[in-house]
Amino acid sequence: MNRAENDRITVVIADHSPVMGMQIARMLAEDEAIEVLGRVRTGAEALAMVSELCPKVVTLDAEMPDMAAFAILKRLMVKHPVPTVLLSALDGDASSEVFDAIRYGAVDVLAKPSPSSPESLEFQKRDLIRGVRRAAAADIEKCHYRRLAATKRPWGKFGKGPAGSATRFIGVGAGGGEFFSVFRVVTALPEYFQDVLMILLDVSPRLAGPFATHLQRYSLIPVVRFERSTIVERGVCYVATFADRPALAGHFPNELELRGSSTAADLQPSSPLDAFLISLAAAAGNCSAGVMMSGPGEDGVKGMLEIERVGGLLAAQDPANCMDPSRSRALLGTDAAVELLPDYRMSDFLVREPDVETADAGAPESQADSSAAVPFQSVDLLEHLRFLLTSRQAKVLEVRSESGTVAEIFVRGGNVVHAVCGDLQGLHALRRCLSFKAATLSDRPWEEPAESTVDKLGALALMEAARTKTQELPRIIRSEE
C-alpha cells in the first residue's frame, strides 16, 4: 500500500435506511480523502464488516433494527475499537438521549442529513465530512468506552437572580466533537455556582437544543438553549452555537443581555468565537473570563487576548487532553497568561474567583460605581457566605429583617473575621435566616470593624457553619450588647 492509500480515511456506513445510507455515501464521496468501504443495514452486519475491513471510521445510525446503537458501540469498543460517529434524526422527546453515546465510546454526534432541515444540504455535507475527518484524527484510546459516573438530577433547577458586581461572566469556546469534554465540565459544577456560564459550540444548531437538555438532565445548575436574546442570570449555563453568532451587550452588571448577532464589525464572519469573546470583554471588563477548549484553527485567540487586556482570566484545555489541540496551541503560542487544565479539572477554574481584595476593583469606567452596596435581596445566607469564602472576596454582609439590620458579617481572604448581632433579638433573627435558608441581605465593600466589637468565637462558628453548610448557626455565636 502506497502512502496516498494509507492516508485515505476509510469508512463503514451503518444505517437502517438504504436511501439514507446511499445519501451519506454520496456526500462523503465528494471528499477525495474519504473512501466508503461498504454500507450495512443491521448491527450484526456492522460488527462483521468492521472486523473484516478494519475501517478508520464508522458512522452509526442511532436507530438500528436488530440491536440498540449503544449495544453496538459497546461491542465495537471491546472487540474492534474504532472512532465512531453517531448519526441521529433528532426526532421526538428522546432526542437528547443520543448524547449518552459519548459515554460509550462515540467520538461525535451529528445530525442526519435532511432536506427539511433549516440548514442547506451543502452545509450538512460539509458538517458530515468535517465530522468524519475529526473522528479519523481522534485518539481512540481517549474515547474507548469512557466510563463516566453520571447521575440524573431533578428538573427543578433555578438561577440565582440578576448578576451583581461580583459576578464573573465566563465564555467557553468548544469545537465540534467536544460534547464529552463539555459534559464533564458542566456536570462537575457545584450547586452553589454563582457566575454566568456561556458555552459556544461549533456544531449544527439542530444539536444545541437536545444537548442542552442532556446537560440539564445531569447537571446541578440550570442549562438552557440560547435563543435570540435573553438577560443573563447568575448560576445558569447558556448553550449557543457559532451559527447563532451571540454577543454580550447591555448595562453592567445586572442588565447584560446575550444577543443573537455579533456587534464586532471589524471581524470577518468566519470568526464567531472571536466576536463573542470580544463582546464579552467589552461588556464585563475585568469580570470576564475566557475558556478555550478543543477545536481547529485559531478562532478565539484574538478574543481571549482581549479578555486578558481588560483584566479578565484565561484558561485553556490541555492539548494532551484535546481531540483537536489547534486552538489551545495557538493560544499558548502567545504571551497570554493562561491556566492549562484537562477537561475534568476545568471546573476548578470556573468556580474560583480572581484573588483580589474586592471583586469590584478595576471595573471599566463605563460601569457603575464599584463602591456602591449591592441592593438588599433574598438569598440563601449560608450559600452566599460559602461562595464569598471560596472566592476570597472582601465584603461586609448586612443581614436585615422587617425591623431593620440584625447582624453584620465581615468576610476577607476566605475567612469570616467578624460576626456581630445588635442584640439578642437580632441573634434569634439570624438563626431563623440560617434555619430556613433565606435572608434579606446586602453586601458592601470591606471596612475594618472596630476592634472593640470583634467577636472571634462567633466569627469562627459562622465560618464553620458556611463551610460545612450547617443549617443552623452554632450556639457559640453571641450577641454584642
Q: In this structure, are 99 and 237 located in the same domain?
A: no
Our count of domains for the chain comes to 3
pLDDT at site 284: 94
Q: How would you classify residue 92: left for phi > 0, otherwise alpha for psi between -120 and 50, otherwise beta?
A: left
> Which pLDDT belongs to residue 456?
57
- What is the per-residue pLDDT for 116? 80
Same domain? 12 vs 115: yes
Same domain, 297 and 411: no
Q: Is there a single domain that holds both residue 182 and residue 321?
A: yes
Q: What is the pTM of this model?
A: 0.68
In a domain, 367, yes or no: no
Give the mean pLDDT per block of 10 residues along the chain (481 residues). 69 94 94 94 94 94 90 89 90 73 86 83 89 84 55 63 90 88 89 92 89 88 87 92 91 88 46 93 94 90 95 91 88 91 87 44 38 56 68 72 68 72 63 57 66 56 61 45 41
Q: Which residues pair with 236 in a beta bridge?
A: 196
- Tell me if 44 sits within 8 A of 71, measured CB to CB: no
Distance CA 98, CA 338 (A): 34
> Of 283, 445, 305, which is closest to residue 366 (Cα–Cα)?
283
Please give the Cα distance from 438 to 400 (Å, whole number).
11
Q: Considering the domain boundaries, does residue 293 fall inside one?
A: yes
Q: Are 380 and 438 in contact (CB under 8 A)?
A: yes
Same-domain pairing of 32 and 136: yes
* pLDDT at residue 429 in the model: 65
Residue 187 in domain = yes
CATH number (domain holding residue 67): 3.40.50.2300
Report the half-sphere exposure of 131 (CA within 13 A, side-chain side).
31
Contacts of 290 (CB under 8 A, 6+ apart): 170, 171, 172, 173, 277, 280, 300, 303, 304, 307, 308, 312, 313, 314, 315
Give all strands of the β-sheet with 9-14 in edge-to-edge order. Answer: 34-40, 9-14, 57-61, 84-88, 108-111
114, 60: one domain: yes
Q: Is residue 159 part of a domain?
A: no
Same domain, 298 and 426: no
User: Do 136 and 225 belong to one domain?
Assistant: no
The verdict on 173 and 267 lying in the same domain is: yes
User: Has residue 338 been placed in a domain?
Assistant: yes
pLDDT the model gives residue 268: 42
Answer whether residue 198 is part of any domain: yes
Assigned domain for 478 exists: no
- Give me the domain span that covers residue 217: 169-350
Closest by CA to 111, choosing from 43, 224, 27, is 27
The predicted structure's pLDDT at residue 185: 92
pLDDT of residue 266: 40
Indicate if 122 and 189 belong to the same structural domain.
Answer: no
Quote the pLDDT of residue 27. Answer: 94
Q: What is the pLDDT of residue 358?
A: 33
Same domain, 15 and 64: yes
**Which CATH number covers residue 224?**
3.40.50.180
Phi, psi of 249 (to 5 degrees): -155, 165
Same domain, 174 and 119: no
The gap from C-alpha 433 to its chain's centroid, in whole angstroms, comes to: 32
Residue 369 lies in a domain: no
